[in-house]
Amino acid sequence: MSPRGFLFFLPVVIGLVHSPVPVQSADPPLVPAEIAVPVLPLYPSELYGRLSEATRPQWRQLYRTTVTRCLEGRQQAAMGLGAVTADLFLAAQARDSQQIRNLLQDEETIEKTLGLNESMATLRAEVLAAAEQSDWKRLGTGIEKLGVGHRRYLRAQKDEPLADLAYIGQWLRTLQTCHAVVLARDLTDQRLAIGDPALITEMTRRLQTVSPAGTESSRCLRLLNKRLAGLSRLWPEDAISVPDPAERLRRSAELLSDTVGQLLQEEEPAAPGTLAAPK
């Protein structure tokens, strides 16, 4: 090897001899534990669909006997609007075109109270046309668009709290229906009644969009806050097991029925002493 070649090769050899060897750590790098994020249902039809897979509900027996059209105040009207949307999903499960027609009339009356009837006219017509043509898939999609449209237009009117109250009304009525099916069919999977306890947490969070002063001064919101607190105690998100699941389901059903009856239907409330949730 020539002197010039030797000098060129020498740094390479030195580098190989003296290059540091990476030291393996005794412990593997810490990986953050995965946190389960609840996936909330978007529409009542998701919970109704799960019930249909588990049993054969008699959907028409779950209709409300009365639907209040002239609710007291805009807050109660917004919740009532959401509840009627849940009833539309229920009638779609029953494939009952006449009930769809009746409920759309109820929705239009409540929409007038909230200044939405003209904005929602096209979507209502689409739902009605799908029902009359027995196009059940298109009907389901139309009801989804109708419920989302209510909340979108309320937000456009700077009525964000009313949009959240419509969301709460929809899910209170949906959970009332699901509880009734699970109780009637004696189903063991209570997730079919509640969907996910995080849904109650989400309703509670949305209620906080109303100012504390508004909550204190409104009988409607005071009652709603009390009932959601009761449901939260019955269905904590971190609960692994409960001593008496059947009793929890019964008390939860009573709370939901009383809430829907007083806030959305003006029916007689449940008997005193039956609604207290566990402390």
* pLDDT tens for each residue of 48-107: 999 999 999 999 999 998 766 556 789 999 999 999 999 999 999 999 999 999 999 999
Mean pLDDT on 9-38: 45
pLDDT at 186: 94
Contact 226, 270 (CB under 8 A): no
Q: pLDDT (tens digit, 9 = 90+) per residue, 29-46?
A: 444 444 455 578 999 999
Q: What pLDDT shows up at residue 251?
A: 96
In the chain, pLDDT over 90 holds for what percent of residues?
66
Burial 132-157 (b: 16+ CB within 10 A, else e): eeeeeeebbbbbbbbbebbbebbeee
Closest by CA to 67, choosing from 197, 173, 204, is: 173
Rounded CA separation 260/254 (Å): 10
181 — pLDDT class (breaks 50, 70, 90): very high
Q: Is residue 9 over pLDDT 80?
A: no
Model pLDDT, residue 199: 95
